[in-house]
Amino acid sequence: MLGYPTEFGQMEVVKLIAQADYGGKRIGYLTLAVVLDETHEVLTLAENHIKKDLSNTNSFVQAIALDVVANVSGEDMARDVLHEVEQLLDSPNMYLRRKACLAALRIVKKAPDHAEIFLEKMQNIFQEMQTEQGEAFLPKFRLLITSAVRVLKQLVLATKITDQDIGGVSDPFLQIKLLQFLRLTG
């Protein structure tokens, strides 16, 4: 944390994580993610609390524990929480499944020999997310295609020089964003 020593507060972080109320746990996990990295030995003390919170019935507690696994876990912690993260990939809560995907990515980076465990589940989740998102937003944005094409045509054919012009090209960054939008909407 900006080069200052944090040893004085590391045990307090573990105590916060061990609290039963969500507010204390949240502060503890946020502090742990900022103050500690995978090389700190205090992380091994917090590991049992993290495993317990991954199995908690409260989805918010599970989510903040998954955040720590996704951002701070080392090789040993990755191997230890593997089973809990695998179970959360099957959660009916999409928010938890997305967090579990990020944690699984970290686990695979730290312990690549466990990649096969997550491969099939991740493919199913990504296919489900793709169909869910594609069906939800495309019809709404397809209505805007004609407007986007009109604006892009005006930018390309513009003769007036504005502050957004770069090298004689009218607002190239807006043109890029419009082209990306048109690529996504088909």
The predicted pLDDT at position 63 comes to 95
User: Any idea which of 32-36, 74-78, 140-144 has the lowest mean pLDDT?
Assistant: 140-144
The predicted pLDDT at position 64 comes to 94
pTM over 0.85: no
Q: DSSP readout, the chain?
A: -TT---HHHHHHHHHHHH-SSHHHHHHHHHHHHHH--TT-THHHHHHHHHHHHHT-S-HHHHHHHHHHHHHH--HHHHHHSHHHHHHHTT-S-HHHHHHHHHHHHHHHHH-GGGHHHHHHHHHHHHHHHHHHHHHHHHHHHHTTHHHHHHHHHHHHH--S--TT-BTTBS-HHHHHHHHHHHHHH-
Q: What is the pLDDT of residues 93-142, one digit of tens each?
A: 989 988 998 999 899 888 888 888 888 787 777 777 666 555 566 677 77
